[in-house]
Copies of this chain bind each other. A is one copy, B any other.
Amino acid sequence: MGLEEYRRSVSENKHAAILKAGRKHFLEHGYSGAAAADIAREADVSTATLYKHFSSKEELFVAVVKDADHEEEIPPFPDNASLEDTMVAVLNNYLITHFEKNATALLRIVIAEVPGAPDLARDTFNEFIVSRYQKLADIVDQLIAHGTLKPHDSHFGVRLLIGAIKEHYIWPALFDNKTTMPEHAEDVIRQVVKDYLRLYGT
């Protein structure tokens, strides 16, 4: 069994290497721009091996996108923080996570392939975008339950918050190959949160 296990681990390493190389190339050059041969070379693997692990370029692409789809950590917030500060921190975290995952580039390639891979796009949208709304909406609902926020449609509220922030920071990045977190985003976030609390705070 030792041999078999060894083999499996080698194989798994290659699998991971291909995935990683694929991610790099797809993010850098887009779907059509990334060449299977380059990905294989980067992963230090033959093209034939690449195709043993993923039966087509598209399948690798899908795997790359799905793989990026990790859970997002929502950090615990200090009890004594103000509501405003907490919300700013949450939204800031949202933005940081986005840039840390290089999500802009990822979304870019998924968007590019909407006509060619609609299912992937829908899935990605759900897992990457909708589920993040949901997490924030859950928080909002809790705050409403606690009486800290006025009752309102939490999904609507979240889209108000997130929409403004995306409009400021993510939408421009989508067109600008930016990969770094914008500076001073917190100021704008705070302004957005302040308006939100004027509307829905108690």
A29, chain B: closest CB distance, angstroms: 6
Known: A115-B28, A116-B30, A118-B177. Contact between A171 and B166, CB under 8 A?
A: yes
User: Which residues of A (64-120) have their CB < 8 Å from a CB of B?
Assistant: 108-116, 118
Give the chain B neighbours of A198 by CB distance below 8 A.
198-199
Tell me, yes or no, whether A9 is within 8 Å of chain B by CB.
no
Q: What's the tally of chain A residues with a CB closer than 8 Å to chain B?
A: 43
User: What string of 1s and 0s marks CB contacts (under 8 Å) between A138-173 and chain B?
Assistant: 000000000000000000100110111111100110
- Please state the number of chain copies in the assembly: 4
Identify the stretch in A39-47, A54-62, A122-130 within 8 Å (CB) of chain B at 4 or more residues: A122-130
Give chain A's interface residues, CB within 8 Å of chain B: 28-33, 108-116, 118, 121-122, 124-125, 129, 156, 159-160, 162-168, 171-172, 174-177, 188, 191-192, 195, 198-199
Lowest 7 A-B CB distances belong to which pairs? Answer: A112-B112, A163-B163, A163-B167, A32-B32, A125-B175, A163-B164, A159-B167
Can you report 10 A-B residue pairs in the complex whose CB atoms are below 8 A from each other? A30-B32, A32-B33, A108-B114, A114-B176, A118-B176, A156-B191, A160-B160, A160-B167, A163-B168, A195-B199
Given A118-B177, A122-B175, A199-B199; 10 other pairs, CB 8 A cutoff: A30-B115, A30-B116, A108-B111, A111-B175, A125-B176, A129-B175, A160-B195, A163-B163, A163-B166, A195-B199
